């Protein structure tokens, strides 16, 4: 074993250990609402029967709450494991950690094949400890598992093309199609992985790329399952209240300021300024290297995706594929610099700067921003009957409903979805009246929405006449509605 391989193994072990820190913590950290939705789907599988094709959320009131989602293999697997472990946060998080760990040797192999062992070692470090990678790599969400499988698929695809005339090459392409297909099922935006694959295929076959039976076979196996599943998910969303398709509405070009914010976020909490600068340097240094082309195509595909799916990219995790792209070019830059200066001094200095710049963004991702919703949920679970229907002024975050183990609605609600902050008190009263008619039994606020009670006095007056305040703390208020 070379020294660099040993260092790579140490990097992998440290990255996995970091992601296992407080792995049993409640879903109150960054992206609590997305994780609580996935966790609710898992628990509903466990309690309502393992009907794989009909995932259910908790914020559809008395309705079943079937929604259109990505291929729900993660919550379904968690539900199976819940039968042995009970409903535990670490079960969902651990799936993400395992798939992330599984992808690391494949990512290392990709970069080593492209730019050598030094670049691969550095790229692995960047990929493992970039802030967005750490946050997504321990979240009960489909993004990191999808990216991890896509990287495995890319490695197999590259190997398959290199050995295309042998039996091993055909087997690699079959494995690549399976891994890529599963990645697309779990998270469709990971389809940008097609860009580096297309670059590799074009380099191999040139103009005859469209006449290669092996590539057509790969495309059918990779794409057909996603076409079938997402067609089914769309029909589910159109048929059942709350008529929601996860990720729907994201394809929208936004204004210039919106993209400036995305660029600033990418430079800081996604990659860190150190990795961002190294990635730019790597692009300049390696742009004429033949093995840089697949990653340049992937970067171009990501830029196009961010531009077209501008509104969807309000969620930072949509830009997760930028991490391995930046890591590759950052590793290439370090490899080039190390050849011309003292390699040990260069690598050690950059590593220290990068890790120090990662600490604060990582801590921000770990910060329990939904603590009030979590406490509200626990209070509701102990103080309300299981049949209670909760109207939750929760800013669209289902964490309180999940930990309450209750069904209900986001407030304000329109056509089954969270409608945002009210325009005036009369709008709140009208929405409350409608939900009471649908069977709501309780109305709750957390510390992020209790300002409504002061800002809309006409609503507060109406609430005082039609409800009983059961509990009030600094974190929440629980009202029982008088029927």
Q: Measure the CA dihedral 124/126/127/131, to 10°.
A: 150
Q: For the chain, what's the residue count?
A: 483
pLDDT in tens, 62-110: 999 999 999 999 999 999 999 999 999 999 999 999 999 999 999 999 9
Q: What's the whole-model pTM score?
A: 0.95
282's tokens: 């790597």
What whole-number distance in Å separates Cα of residue 247 and Cα of residue 245? Answer: 6
Q: How far apart are the first and last CA of the chain?
A: 73
> Collapsing DSSP states into helix, strand and coil, what is residue 271?
coil
What whole-number distance in Å separates Cα of residue 289 and Cα of residue 471? Answer: 65
Nearest partner of 441 among 385, 378, 388, judged by Cα? 388
Contacts of 470 (CB under 8 A, 6+ apart): 383, 442, 478, 479, 480
pLDDT for 480:
97
pLDDT in tens, 439-470: 999 999 999 999 999 999 999 999 999 999 99
pLDDT in tens, 235-269: 999 999 999 999 888 899 999 999 999 999 999 99
Burial of 141 (0-12, 13-18, 19+ CB in 10 A): buried
Where does the pLDDT of residue 340 fall: very low under 50, low under 70, confident under 90, or very high at 90 and above?
Answer: confident
Q: What is the mean pLDDT of the chain?
A: 95
pLDDT for 1:
60
CB 144 within 8 A of CB 102: no
Instruction: Provide the strand spans (E) within 73-132.
Output: none
Is 336 or 38 the better-scoring residue by pLDDT? 38
Share of the chain above pLDDT 90, in %: 89
DSSP 56: B
CB 158 within 8 A of CB 180: no
Task: Respond yes or no on whether the N-terminal peptide bond of residue 431 is cis (omega within 30° of 0).
Answer: no
> Collapsing DSSP states into helix, strand and coil, what is residue 185?
helix
Mean pLDDT, range 166-192, rounded to an integer: 94
pLDDT for 247:
87
Q: How many CA atoms lie within 13 A of 72 on its CB side?
A: 31
153's tokens: 């698929």
Nearest partner of 370 among 316, 443, 448, judged by Cα? 448
pLDDT for 342:
67
Mean pLDDT, range 322-343, rounded to an integer: 89
What whole-number distance in Å separates Cα of residue 61 and Cα of residue 437? Answer: 12
Q: Residue 383: enclosing H or E segment and its boundaries?
A: helix 371-383
Where does the pLDDT of residue 272 fall: very low under 50, low under 70, confident under 90, or very high at 90 and above?
Answer: very high
Distance set, CA 169 to CA 160, 166, 181 (Å): 4, 5, 18
5's tokens: 């391989």
> Collapsing DSSP states into helix, strand and coil, what is residue 446?
strand
Nearest partner of 108 among 36, 33, 200, 10, judged by Cα? 10
What whole-number distance in Å separates Cα of residue 479 and Cα of residue 449? Answer: 14
What whole-number distance in Å separates Cα of residue 127 and Cα of residue 109? Answer: 13
Distance set, CA 59 to CA 56, 377, 392, 430 (Å): 9, 13, 9, 19
pLDDT for 271:
96
Share of the chain above pLDDT 70, in %: 99
Maximum Cα interatomic distance, the chain, rounded to a whole number of Å: 79
pLDDT for 168:
83
55's tokens: 């995932």
Where does the pLDDT of residue 287 fall: very low under 50, low under 70, confident under 90, or very high at 90 and above?
Answer: confident
How many angstroms from the chain centroid is the CA of residue 178? 21
What whole-number distance in Å separates Cα of residue 285 and Cα of residue 288? Answer: 8
What whole-number distance in Å separates Cα of residue 288 and Cα of residue 334? Answer: 16
Helix/strand/coil percentages in the chain, nearest 5: 70, 5, 25
CB 45 within 8 A of CB 76: yes
Contacts of 433 (CB under 8 A, 6+ apart): none
426's tokens: 């009369």
What whole-number distance in Å separates Cα of residue 371 and Cα of residue 262? Answer: 26
325's tokens: 């792209």
pLDDT in tens, 194-203: 999 999 999 9
What whole-number distance in Å separates Cα of residue 25 and Cα of residue 117? Answer: 37
Backbone region of residue 420 per phi and psi (left: phi > 0; alpha: psi in -120 to 50; beta: other values) = left
DSSP 482: P
Where does the pLDDT of residue 430 fall: very low under 50, low under 70, confident under 90, or very high at 90 and above?
Answer: very high
pLDDT for 163:
85
């Amino acid at each position: 074993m070379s020294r660099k391989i040993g260092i790579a193994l140490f990097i992998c072990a440290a990255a996995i250990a970091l992601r296992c820190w407080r792995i049993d913590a409640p879903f109150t950290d960054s992206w609590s609402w997305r994780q609580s939705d996935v966790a609710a789907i898992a628990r509903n599988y466990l309690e309502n029967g393992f009907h794989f094709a009909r995932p259910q959320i908790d914020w559809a009131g008395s309705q079943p709450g079937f929604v259109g989602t990505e291929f729900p293999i993660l919550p379904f697997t968690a539900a199976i494991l819940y039968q042995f472990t009970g409903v535990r946060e670490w079960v969902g998080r651990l799936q993400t950690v395992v798939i992330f760990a599984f992808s690391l040797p494949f990512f290392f192999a990709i970069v080593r094949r492209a730019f050598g062992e030094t670049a691969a070692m550095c790229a692995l470090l960047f990929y493992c400890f970039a802030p967005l990678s750490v946050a997504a790599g321990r979240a009960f969400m489909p993004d990191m598992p999808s990216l991890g499988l896509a990287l495995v698929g890319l490695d197999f695809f590259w190997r398959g093309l290199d050995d295309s005339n042998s039996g091993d090459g055909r087997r690699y392409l079959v494995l690549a199609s399976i891994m890529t297909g599963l990645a697309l099922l779990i998270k469709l935006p990971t389809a940008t992985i097609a860009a580096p694959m297309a670059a590799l295929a074009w380099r191999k076959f040139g103009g005859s790329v469209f006449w290669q039976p092996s590539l057509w076979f790969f495309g059918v196996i990779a794409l057909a399952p996603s076409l079938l599943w997402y067609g089914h998910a769309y029909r589910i969303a159109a048929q059942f209240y709350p008529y929601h398709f996860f990720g729907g509405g994201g394809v929208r070009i936004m204004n210039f300021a919106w993209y400036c914010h995305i660029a600033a976020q990418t430079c800081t909490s996604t990659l860190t300024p150190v990795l961002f600068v190294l990635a730019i340097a790597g692009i300049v240094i390696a742009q004429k290297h033949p093995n840089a082309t697949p990653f340049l195509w992937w970067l171009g595909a990501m830029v196009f995706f961010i531009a077209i799916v501008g509104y969807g990219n309000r969620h930072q995790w949509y830009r997760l594929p930028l991490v391995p792209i930046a890591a590759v070019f950052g590793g290439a830059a370090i490899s080039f610099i190390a050849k011309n200066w003292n390699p040990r001094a260069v690598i050690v200095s950059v590593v220290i700067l990068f890790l120090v710049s990662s600490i604060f963004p990582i801590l921000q991702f770990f910060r329990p921003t939904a603590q009030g919703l979590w406490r509200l949920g626990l209070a509701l679970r102990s103080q309300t009957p299981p049949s209670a229907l909760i109207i939750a002024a929760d800013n669209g975050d289902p964490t309180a409903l999940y930990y309450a183990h209750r069904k209900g609605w986001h407030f304000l609600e329109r056509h089954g979805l969270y409608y945002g902050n009210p325009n005036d008190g009369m709008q709140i009263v009208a929405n409350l009246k409608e939900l009471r008619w649908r069977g709501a039994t309780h109305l709750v606020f957390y510390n992020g929405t209790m300002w409504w009670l002061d800002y809309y006095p006409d609503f507060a007056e109406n609430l005082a006449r039609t409800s009983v305040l059961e509990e009030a703390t600094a974190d929440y208020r629980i009202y029982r509605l008088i029927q």
